[in-house]
Amino acid sequence: MKTIQVRWTSNSSPLHSNPYYSPNPSFAWFGRKDGSAYQQTSGWHSCRETFTNELRWLFGVAGPLSSPYTKMTVRQARVLMKFKSEKQKGPKGFKAREVEVTKWAKESVRLLNIFEKYMGWPLTRLYRVSNKTLNRRYLSSSHVIIFALMSSGKWMKASPLMSLYLLIARLGRFHAVTKTAFKSMKDIDALATAISKPSSEGQAVKDIQFFKEVKPHILTILDNRRKLFFFRTPKENYSRNDGFTGISKLVKGKADIKLATRFDEAKAEAKKKG
């Protein structure tokens, strides 16, 4: 896997990350390349909606475009995906965790690619963030493993799309079953069945539930993406109530009235087609 270097923001460096372990990834935005490194442009988020909400700054909704958001690009969704290992398990524990989350990240990208092929979008590419940072300290000393995803900027057009993106990325944790169950969008029901196994980990249970709620509407959303999301500019999308709307809220009818109406129309048309 190719590696890249990232220049960290002073108050959000993974070298000074939260000491508490979580099996779940957290996400941050990164932007343009400056010299030998890309620039981190946001703090770390474990919540899909708060992470997506950072785009309100990029599109000038939350305030004037300022640093570090000026380093971002609308051409690509550039996402950092950070995993932690348990410090008390030492180097062997770190290596085992590294192997596991690498499988997770690779599967996340494979899943995203299936959705992207269906929509005719450029495919997400996966990179490992170099273990040695620009100041010659090592990420492994802070028990973190970080991947970089470079995806089509179309994912950023509206918050429900970006929320779906992160939900798909989280499903990479089920790589042991998804890699055989889900080969194309025709297998969407098989994907839901494959991940519907008991899990004791809280976020995994939530992600399974979120996907079950979204799954019946996924093809309707993707097939009608222009009608639902591209009829407004990104700035207009993020300046309205649905700037805070994740994919789960959309399917529950909690988007702003204009988007909710268009979604109801799309569902009605899909039902007519059978």
The top-scoring range by mean pLDDT among 34-38, 53-57, 114-118 is: 114-118
Report the percentage of the chain scoring pLDDT > 70.
95
Q: Which domain holds residue 249?
A: 3-273
Report the percentage of the chain scoring pLDDT > 90.
59
Q: Render pLDDT for 80-94 as a digit per residue (tens, 0 to 9).
A: 999 999 988 889 999
pLDDT at 185 over 90: yes
Asked if residue 235 lies in contact with residue 151, where contact means CB atoms within 8 angstroms, the answer is no
pLDDT at 273: 81
Mean pLDDT of 6-23: 81
Asked if residue 40 lies in contact with residue 30, where contact means CB atoms within 8 angstroms, the answer is yes
Burial class (CB in 10 A: 0-12, 13-18, 19+), 202: exposed
Give CA separation, 41 vs 38, 95, 103, 122, 149, in Å. 9, 28, 26, 23, 14
pLDDT at 106: 98
pLDDT at 120 over 80: yes
* pLDDT category of residue 204 using cuts at 50, 70 and 90: confident
The total domain count for the chain is: 1
pLDDT at 200: 59
Q: Render pLDDT for 205-225 as a digit per residue (tens, 0 to 9).
A: 889 999 999 999 999 999 999
pLDDT at 242: 54
pLDDT at 189: 94
Q: Render pLDDT for 125-143 as a digit per residue (tens, 0 to 9).
A: 999 999 998 878 889 888 9
101 bridge partner residues = none
Q: Considering the entire predicted model, what is its pTM?
A: 0.94
Backbone angles phi, psi at 39, to 5 degrees: -105, 125
Rounded Cα–Cα distance for residues 47 and 217 (Å):
22
Q: Mean pLDDT score of the chain, rounded to an integer?
A: 90
Mean pLDDT of 22-46: 92
pLDDT at 198 over 70: no
Rounded Cα–Cα distance for residues 143 and 130 (Å):
14
pLDDT at 57: 84
What is the β-pairing status of strands 144-152 and 6-7?
A: unpaired
pLDDT at 71: 87
Which of 156-160, 198-202, 269-273 has the least mean pLDDT?
A: 198-202
pLDDT at 108: 98
Mean pLDDT of 148-172: 95
